[in-house]
Amino acid sequence: MQVNVHPTLSVCTRCKEKDDGPSDIDRAGYRLTTLIHSKFVDSEAAKLGVTLRGIRCMSQCKRPCVIALSGLSKYTLLFGDLVASAHANDILHLTAQYANSSDGLIRRSDRPKPLRKGILGRVPPIKADNELVDPNFTLFLNP
């Protein structure tokens, strides 16, 4: 199995809004993924080597639509409360910012306006070494 060294944009294809139909293709997450997919090839993110993938469920059902940005040695950023018909371009812009960042952290004020809210989490990479990692509570236990 190959390890992807480029950043990845993951989009939940099964996010469902209140008025969505029963079929997967009727879901907001599917619509968002389709819209991003249609714009991706010509985007700055694609030119920077980002991988786009649809994920069948990202377990954030109370905060649809959901995306995650992840990279081998970058913080993973998780966003929800996105609108399928309105945020595809903003997501691709944020993805390019993420690809250009050294650690994956993008200041709130630098993000596209719709992505300044709705952040569900930022997960540090295993080898994170910055001021966000508290050395007082980092233990290395070797078996």
What pLDDT does 140 receive?
67
What pLDDT does 22 receive?
83
Helix, strand, or coil (residue 46): helix
What pLDDT does 27 receive?
92
Q: Extract the residue ranges of the chain whose pLDDT is less than 70.
A: 1-4, 140-143
What pLDDT does 132 receive?
78
Q: What is the Cα–Cα distance from 127 to 122, expressed in whole angstroms?
A: 14
Scanning the structure block, which residue is given the tokens 């997967």?
24
Q: Specify which residues 89 forms β-bridges with.
A: none
Question: In the chain, what are the domains?
Answer: 8-137 (3.40.30.10)
The pTM of this model reads 0.90
